[in-house]
Amino acid sequence: MGAVFVAMLRREMALAWRGRTDVLLALSFFVVVVCLFPFGIGPEANQLRAIAPGVVWVTALLASLLALPRLFEHDLRDGTLEQLLLSPEPAVVWVLAKVTVHWLVTGVPVALFAPLLAGLYDLQPEVLPLLAGTLLLGTPTLTLIGAIGAALTLGVRSGAVLLALLVLPLAVPVLIFGAGAVEAALGGVSYSAHLALLGAGGLASVALAPWACVAALRLAVQ
């Protein structure tokens, strides 16, 4: 099983490199949108600090959504998806590998770029590691929830719009806890509860989301 996971990771990383334009588009979207808010709101430091966590988290979610419709689409078109579902290897393993690579090429760069952009919002330097940490902890959950939506809307006309409608409401708790942790730190309040809830949500998503994806993918190829 571990060999299958590693083989799928290599395959998906190679595919991600070939389709790196989509990855760069998502990252560019994140950078541009985060940079636009300070220009639109003005130089008021207190106001910028207040909105910074929410802006970063919402933009990270939207950037993740840009690449999600193509998570399983290529495999469906060339017949690979059907062959993978018919193979004797556990489908959950390769689904988890695909989701892992998607997070590595979208969620991790966003988490690394966020502290660099936070200077536009006058955030204190001691809060920046927490901002990156919450994104690293919470974006896997966003990716797993998005993967379920991508599987459910696979092959559906206007699937990208339907995907957004499915994923955005489910992602609200992650946004609340992720942004809330940074806001608590800014206010001098303990943020351990927010981190614990983010971690619990991530563990629950890892345990349940791949199985839901497999069930949805089997329906899509029928």
Residue 186: burial class (beta carbons within 10 Å; 0-12, 13-18, 19+): middle
Alpha-carbon distance 21 to 6, whole Å?
A: 24
Q: Where are the domains of the chain?
A: 2-221
Alpha-carbon distance 190 to 198, whole Å?
A: 15
Structure confidence at residue 1 as a pLDDT band (50, 70, 90): low
pTM check: above 0.85: yes
Between the alpha carbon of residue 83 and those of residues 22, 75, 78, the distances in Å are: 25, 9, 10
Q: What pLDDT is stored for residue 139 in this prediction?
A: 93
pLDDT in tens, 44-76: 878 888 888 899 999 999 888 888 877 888 778
pLDDT in tens, 181-205: 999 988 888 889 999 999 999 999 9
For 137-147, what is the mean pLDDT? 92
Residues in the chain: 222
3-state secondary structure of 26: helix
